[in-house]
Structure 1
């Protein structure tokens, strides 16, 4: 099946670098040429993206990664999300800042208390220490980003459009100053335009401290002091100890097997389990004979209805199951992590899919909460690199909303995330705001393997950015490749759907989980231009609320990257695709 695209699938026998920015890709290639591996190169790419796409990611944000080790034939994971300030609590917020609490039990827009400890820098350092080649230093890895920040780079098309849309936010949350001018450099403190030359000497100096001192260059010393001083001046309770005590988590990835392959995701507090559950439900419907998966036509009414309804079930499950499990264990003594395996099992899938109907739409508020054990109830950039040793790193870095909190750290050229906006303020929820806790995270890297003779062989490293769109896109792109036989570029080109909370039903928010697509009684189904009109009419006839998006509105569907290992028995061959909704590309290493 062919779709119009301005890009072709890229092939290489040594490795591929794939991201949303050509400048970032070149940084990754430089590190590979210097002897680095896919992990080293990914960190170099991420550092450049923090400079060139500051609305999407930055060193004030967080990261997740999946590493495929070709020697061990195994997938490993890192959770580089930061925690909330230790002194922050719901009771403290109610007493001191009740104006920051919405009636829907969410933090108000632009709340400073949505800022958590930035985890990216620790994640970069820890990933390189554990999985890097050892042949290149951290200074060499960060050198391309430092050079571009000092000597300048040029703004690309999609970046300029996204940047322009955030002028008002940056002015609203910051004082007019030289620090703000780093991000709004034009007359009247306005955003840079396509083709404009930019420099960020402050960012270069901050990265140089990390290059020289490692994690301490960010989490201790003047960078940490200036982060804390800025936050405390706004009433936050973040301390130097909150920063100094931050650690990444190395985690065991979770997976489901569908269509003879396994999809791997980071466990909660990441939301990758939504993609696993949705695929599990689709697979179960097929196994039970409710649908015939192999006969479904791509982006047909029946196919999209199945995708939508299974995603809604999975997002409802996330209300109970996407939270900080370690914090829950520390505060209650109950370890819920073993029960994740019960969720990803056919017996659970079978219970949940009984709520599916081929002829009508699920009411989100009527989807029952079902858990395997009663004790359980209570903007972003993606990049991936493969190397000549057969390894791959699937890596995602984020500030959450565009420009995160919007709050500029004086003298250091970066902005702080607002990931804590995904906490709720409902004490009945395990994702409720608390001190020293990681919030529900939307960023999810993906990895696909195929089991052969007890070995997990790499099939693809992939991901699609874009908030709550991410697990939805993971499911669609997975099926594009493995059900419909699409090449990586075709799989990204194909029109997608994305569920969001219906704006007319915000008053029905139940205050559980995150404020994702099923937080309201009705989900709005966004369909990308290119899906047949009769399909859209069919979805509406079933009861779906549908909106068609085109042109720049298509940014809702995210920007993805795929690197796939081809089944050549004699040679290492990779193929790569890069989302046409962004500025980037897949670039071969040679």
Structure 2
């Protein structure tokens, strides 16, 4: 139970439905969909559409999407990979001929074909209950009539102002009149409203074919991109078998690669061999074990993860408990490892949302343009901000994540789901670019090892090992910092809050849904 002498928020409890998103307008939309008889899939798509308008630096219809969901409270987890692919013309030879050494985050070469709208359409067609077009109405209204800029949004826009000033197309939309909107100012995106109206009327075909696709490809080609109308028309996501591991009696599920979710599963496999529950949940000893498990897991991620068809090892090998036993031997409970240096890890932000409806359909949903405002390229005629997922490719021909035609890059965004026995237990996710596996492990361990509610877990101070350096939030207690330093960790104050998160825990015995939403963002959990 939290100490009510201190600022904070309590977990939210409800019986008939629960939503948790990173923005209050999105939470409100999702809740209303549930109250109007829609199911969790309907509410998730409607919330994602609103977030694509009101948090455009983090997400948008020019981005990608991954979804995990369980039907009617069961442990049968379905997964959808809605990540886009590189253009068919994006061969390694092309970049070698140009002497390109790296796919830069703000280059047009970083723009992969957006997968989000295809994913929304496909999953809705299979599992939704309300009219697809009706799910866009709130988002269209906010884009056309305006929405107030919230605090975290303004903070993010201010940090990326240099990019908005450097690009005419995106600058005209997000710095109207040459000035960045401030917190509480009303902002509009009329062209995006038009595009969303087309999608509402025509479905995914209105985005991947016809005038909208033609304008997007025209913009990308003018910037030097290799994209074609065929690349957009051919874009298809797919249902995939979730990757899973058992952590102390709970099954934790992730979307498999090209998604980085198995990094979290590997961390959990390593941590399972330690007596975590015997430690204080906010202690140097516990954080040290997380740091070391994370450093090992990310090193393995960077060696092996790629589009599943390109990987040289199997998921069974990566998630083997015996392999985790061997990796665990590298960790000393008292001293930091010295043989893992800088891993090149970055934090970035996206949106994650969770919805559970009255029938206990549970959805774990994540949507992103990757870095803030993605590539920084915007199509003026459609209002679409293009993601920069292609910057995750490398140009090493011997690496499975090397760029190639119609290939998916290794992806950071990862929804999570937890089940126990034959029932779903928790829908959850943590945002923050490379930080996400680290954050998800903390939530799972907090709930399973310490019995914390989801809000208490999300509120906890965070650390993130980028390699030899450990980023720490300002809220980490001094005694913890001293303890980590004594173990040999090099710590640095994080440039900003580490990630964000939402979660809904399902208590089947009591018939109660418990939701939490990260105070590092503007959002909230709310139910009825």
TM-score, normalized by the shorter chain, greater than 0.5: yes
The Cα shift of 1:88 comes to 0.7
Superposed, 1:424-573 pairs within 5 Å as: 424-451=394-421, 455=422, 457-500=423-466, 522-549=467-494, 553-555=495-497, 557-569=498-510, 572-573=511-512
Please give the per-residue CA displacement for 1:436-488, whole angstroms capped at 9, x wherever unaligned: 1100100000111111xxx2x11111111110111100001111111111111
Paired residue for 1:42, among 41, 44, 47?
44
Tell me whether 1:220 sits opposite 2:198 in the alignment.
no
The Cα shift of 1:64 comes to 0.5
SS of corresponding position for 1:535: helix
Equivalent position of 1:517 in the other structure = none
Tell me whether 1:194 sits opposite 2:183 in the alignment.
yes
The Cα shift of 1:71 comes to 6.1
Distance 1:84 1:211, change over 3 A: same
Distance 1:237 1:219, change over 3 A: same
Superposed, 1:27-38 pairs within 5 Å as: 27-38=29-40
Q: Report the Cα distance in structure 1 between the residues aligned to 2:431 and 2:251, rounded to whole angstroms.
A: 20
Q: Report the Cα distance in structure 2 between the residues aligned to 1:538 and 1:485, rounded to whole angstroms.
A: 24
Paired residue for 2:318, among 313, 335, 343?
343
Please give the per-residue CA displacement for 1:381-410, whole angstroms capped at 9, x wherever unaligned: 001111000111000000000000010111
Report if aligned partners of 1:68, 1:76 keep a CA contact under 8 Å in 2: yes
Tell me whether 1:137 sits opposite 2:167 in the alignment.
no
Equivalent position of 1:94 in the other structure = 96
SS of corresponding position for 1:84: coil
The Cα shift of 1:6 comes to 2.7
Q: Report the Cα distance in structure 2 between the residues aligned to 1:56 and 1:322, rounded to whole angstroms.
A: 24
SS of corresponding position for 1:408: coil
Q: Report the Cα distance in structure 1 between the residues aligned to 2:125 and 2:73, rounded to whole angstroms.
A: 17
* Unmatched runs of 5 consecutive residues or more in structure 2: 343-348
Paired residue for 2:193, among 191, 200, 204?
204
Please give the per-residue CA displacement for 1:100-146, whole angstroms capped at 9, x wherever unaligned: 42xxxx323422211100001001111111221x2x11111111111
The Cα shift of 1:293 comes to 2.4
Q: Report the Cα distance in structure 2 between the residues aligned to 1:574 and 1:365, rounded to whole angstroms.
A: 41
Range 403-412 or range 144-153, more displaced: 144-153
Q: Report the Cα distance in structure 2 between the residues aligned to 1:194 and 1:171, rounded to whole angstroms.
A: 19
SS of corresponding position for 1:546: strand
Equivalent position of 2:359 in the other structure = 389
Superposed, 1:165-204 pairs within 5 Å as: 165-172=159-166, 174-175=167-168, 180-185=171-176, 187=177, 189-204=178-193
Q: Report the Cα distance in structure 2 between the residues aligned to 1:573 and 1:496, rounded to whole angstroms.
A: 28
Please give the per-residue CA displacement for 1:466-515, whole angstroms capped at 9, x wherever unaligned: 10111100001111111111111111111111223xxxxxxxxxxxxxxx
Report if aligned partners of 2:104, 2:110 keep a CA contact under 8 Å in 1: no
Q: Report the Cα distance in structure 2 between the residues aligned to 1:256 and 1:563, rounded to whole angstroms.
A: 20
Q: Report the Cα distance in structure 1 between the residues aligned to 2:524 and 2:238, rounded to whole angstroms.
A: 30
Equivalent position of 2:345 in the other structure = none
The Cα shift of 1:40 comes to 0.7
Report if aligned partners of 2:75, 2:420 keep a CA contact under 8 Å in 1: no
Equivalent position of 1:355 in the other structure = 330
Paired residues, what number? 520
Report if aligned partners of 1:9, 1:576 keep a CA contact under 8 Å in 2: yes
What stretches of structure 1 move > 6 A for 4+ residues in a row? none
Tell me whether 1:251 sits opposite 2:251 in the alignment.
no
Range 392-401 or range 144-153, more displaced: 144-153
Q: Report the Cα distance in structure 1 between the residues aligned to 2:419 and 2:252, rounded to whole angstroms.
A: 7
Tell me whether 1:154 sits opposite 2:148 in the alignment.
yes
Equivalent position of 2:288 in the other structure = 305
Range 64-73 or range 307-316, more displaced: 64-73
The Cα shift of 1:2 comes to 3.7
TM (norm. structure 2) is 0.95
Q: Report the Cα distance in structure 2 between the residues aligned to 1:138 and 1:423, rounded to whole angstroms.
A: 34
Report if aligned partners of 2:105, 2:375 keep a CA contact under 8 Å in 1: no
Report if aligned partners of 2:331, 2:337 keep a CA contact under 8 Å in 1: yes
SS of corresponding position for 2:450: coil
Equivalent position of 2:231 in the other structure = 242
The Cα shift of 1:415 comes to 0.6
SS of corresponding position for 2:525: strand
Please give the per-residue CA displacement for 1:135-184, whole angstroms capped at 9, x wherever unaligned: x1111111111122122211111111111211211232x23x5x642221
TM (norm. structure 1) is 0.85
The Cα shift of 1:529 comes to 2.2
Equivalent position of 1:323 in the other structure = 306
Range 68-77 or range 231-240, more displaced: 68-77
CA RMSD of superposed structures (Å): 1.8
Report if aligned partners of 1:206, 1:223 keep a CA contact under 8 Å in 2: yes
* Unmatched runs of 5 consecutive residues or more in structure 1: 287-291, 368-378, 501-521
The Cα shift of 1:568 comes to 2.6
Equivalent position of 1:511 in the other structure = none
Report if aligned partners of 1:55, 1:403 keep a CA contact under 8 Å in 2: yes
Report if aligned partners of 1:110, 1:405 keep a CA contact under 8 Å in 2: yes
Please give the per-residue CA displacement for 1:45-86, whole angstroms capped at 9, x wherever unaligned: 000000000000011100101001126531100110000011
Equivalent position of 2:346 in the other structure = none
The Cα shift of 1:421 comes to 0.8
Distance 1:256 1:125, change over 3 A: same
